[in-house]
Amino acid sequence: MKPETLNFFDKVYEVAKLIPYGRVTSYGAIAKYLGAARSARMVGYAMNGSSGKDVPAHRVVNRKGLLTGKHHFDGTNLMQQLLESEGVKVIENQIQDLEKVYWDPSKEL
């Protein structure tokens, strides 16, 4: 039986799960890796269904390194807490040393 929508979303989940510990990536990077470079918005949309899955959505941020999606999390600063817990410095929803923790699947993979 089909649990849920098996499509672009699942692909996004797969990549999100591949994000190394203490590392972050941007929606556009994942989208590009999937071949949908212009579907960056879809990636974030897909994360909406990440709830209950093994997808570390807290490791996915926008191109600015800003935790734009923290609004969708359970708590208010939950996302930031998770990132800091992995060694990623986050101040005011903004990731510090983004260039250090940035992980591009298209490059690393």
Q: Is the dihedral of CA 67, 33, 17, 96 positive or negative?
A: negative
Question: Is there binding between residue 57 and DNA (CB under 7 A)?
Answer: yes
Question: Is there binding between residue 8 and DNA (CB under 7 A)?
Answer: yes
Question: Is there binding between residue 102 and DNA (CB under 7 A)?
Answer: no
Of 57-65, 81-89, 92-100, 101-109, which part binds DNA (CB under 7 A)? 57-65
The residue count for the chain: 109
**C-beta separation of 24 from 83 below 8 A:** yes
Category of 6 on φ-ψ map: left (φ > 0), alpha (ψ -120 to 50) or beta: beta
Where do contacts with DNA occur on this chain (CB under 7 A)? 5, 7-9, 26-29, 36, 38-45, 47-51, 57-58, 60, 62-64, 68-73, 79
